[in-house]
Structure 1
Amino acid sequence: MENFITDINDLDLNKKYSYADYILWKFKERVELIKGKIFKMSPAPNVSHQEISRNINRVLDYYFLDKPCKVFYAPFDVLLTDKKKSSADNDIQTVVQPDLCVISDLEKIADGKKCVGAPDLVIEILSPGNSKKEMDYKFDLYQEAGVSEYWLVYPEEKSVNIFVLKEGQYIGLKPASEGQIFNSHHFPELTADVDKIFI
């Protein structure tokens, strides 16, 4: 008999947890697990965040329609594995839910429920309550896990910062802002119009 936890207050937020624990949590709050520590996610995204996510998703869906890649949007669990540990549920201590992600290696989603390993492209849309987490913790996590390309979307500035993994380190490209069209580095034929993202 599995012991599901239905109240987040029953957890010790100072303790470290694994994916084996995470799958037993059935409370209403959305959380992410970052190196074993619980991070509460911001409340439901505001309308602007939702619209930006939908606009980017349209671009991705159109481009990847007949390609052997899959596009996912939150909530969708991405398990980032530690290269020094196994991929067993009790060894995975990082579970994130990026706003959008693209996965080429479909073996990573073999069970149809989650991605185990680094997506090729991760997109995070900043909101007032999560900017520190996205800019600091997740930047390091995605770099460490080997996410090839990471877009940070700034709704207030109407700009997109693109980071590309080179020899294990992210290199920031020139930010894309209003009036500009930019290309993905990992998928060079994928283009996005900044003005259509922030309609």
Structure 2
Amino acid sequence: MPTITDISQLDPNGDYNYADYLTWQFEERLELLKGKISLMCPGPNVRHQRFSIYLSSHLFFYFQNKPCQVFEAPFDVRLYDRKKSLLASKEITTVVQPDICVICDPDKLDEQGCNGAPDWIIEILSKGNSQKEVKTKQALYAESGVKEYWLVFPYEEVINQFVLNDETSLYQLTNSYAGDDLAMPFLFPDLAVDLAGLFKEG
């Protein structure tokens, strides 16, 4: 496949896969959602970055000397229906870059990023995020089998915690943390995130 060096060479209404994605060599950041191009917001603002650094550093120290690993965006995660086996690049049509993700299965990691669902994803909303984008990605995370999903609202100073129901393959809102709460991951109950410190950073 020829290398694409300018985003204008892509059809905004076209359908693409991961093999196509690997040929794109331009500055703009984008994700693939079910084959459709989704442009990411311009560089995150200061509040977003402070939240991201606070959370990722907290998780980094917690997971030291543990089998799980923490990754920050930009980091490619290839998603597909968890009921399917490993797919070839041309069959993968969803590539996302979560703000923070935790991966406990080392077999999912390769030189390109993560091939399959992380165990835990944290997304920090920016003002440019649309509700459509949020709902679409949440549905994709559930379909692919991401066990826990946190949605951080920096300006409202709230974290919504979703846990995947294995029977329905849908997320359940387990907790909504705010103020000086200690946010406790379902998957890692001995990890406590001090929201007073987080929101102070913001």
Checking the alignment, whether the CA contact within 8 Å between 1:81 and 1:116 is kept in structure 2 is no
| Equivalent in the alignment of 2:139 | 140
| Equivalent in the alignment of 1:179 | 180
| Equivalent in the alignment of 1:44 | 43
State the Cα distance separating 1:187 from its structure 2 match. 1.2
Give secondary structure in 2 for the equivalent of 1:189.
coil
1:172 maps to amino acid: L
State the Cα distance separating 1:138 from its structure 2 match. 0.7
| Gapped regions of structure 1 (runs ≥ 5) | none
Task: Identify if the C-alpha distance between structure 1 residues 133 and 51 changes in structure 2 by more than 3 Å, giving closer, same or farther.
Answer: farther
Task: Tell me how far apart the structure 1 counterparts of residues 84 and 186 of structure 2 sit (CA, whole Å).
Answer: 28
Task: Tell me how far apart the structure 2 counterparts of residues 130 and 104 of structure 1 sit (CA, whole Å).
Answer: 28
State the Cα distance separating 1:197 from its structure 2 match. 1.5
State the Cα distance separating 1:53 from its structure 2 match. 0.1
| Equivalent in the alignment of 1:157 | 156
Residue deviations 1:12-42, cap 9 Å, x none? 1111100000000001100000000000000
Residue deviations 1:44-82, cap 9 Å, x none? 000000000000011101110110111000000000023
Residue deviations 1:88-141, cap 9 Å, x none? 0000000000000000001000x2321000000000000111142552111101
TM value normalised by structure 1: 0.95
Q: For residues 1-16 of structure 1, what are the structure 2 equivalents within 5 Å?
A: 2-16=1-15
Give secondary structure in 2 for the equivalent of 1:56.
helix
Task: Tell me how far apart the structure 1 counterparts of residues 124 and 130 of structure 2 sit (CA, whole Å).
Answer: 9
Cα RMSD for the two superposed structures:
1.3
State the Cα distance separating 1:196 from its structure 2 match. 1.5
| Equivalent in the alignment of 2:104 | 104
Task: Tell me how far apart the structure 1 counterparts of residues 12 and 19 of structure 2 sit (CA, whole Å).
Answer: 16
Aligned residues: 197
Q: For residues 60-139 of structure 1, what are the structure 2 equivalents within 5 Å?
A: 60-82=59-81, 83-84=83-84, 86-109=86-109, 111-139=110-138
188-197 vs 119-128, greater mean Cα deviation: 188-197
State the Cα distance separating 1:84 from its structure 2 match. 4.3
1:183 maps to amino acid: M
1:177 maps to amino acid: A
2:67 maps to amino acid: P
Task: Identify if the C-alpha distance between structure 1 residues 65 and 77 changes in structure 2 by more than 3 Å, giving closer, same or farther.
Answer: same
State the Cα distance separating 1:86 from its structure 2 match. 4.9
Task: Tell me how far apart the structure 2 counterparts of residues 53 and 196 of structure 1 sit (CA, whole Å).
Answer: 13
| Equivalent in the alignment of 2:192 | 191
TM value normalised by structure 2: 0.94
Checking the alignment, whether the CA contact within 8 Å between 1:18 and 1:91 is kept in structure 2 is yes
Identity over the aligned pairs, expressed in percent? 50
Checking the alignment, whether the CA contact within 8 Å between 2:162 and 2:175 is kept in structure 1 is no
Give secondary structure in 2 for the equivalent of 1:76.
coil
2:90 maps to amino acid: N
1:192 maps to amino acid: V
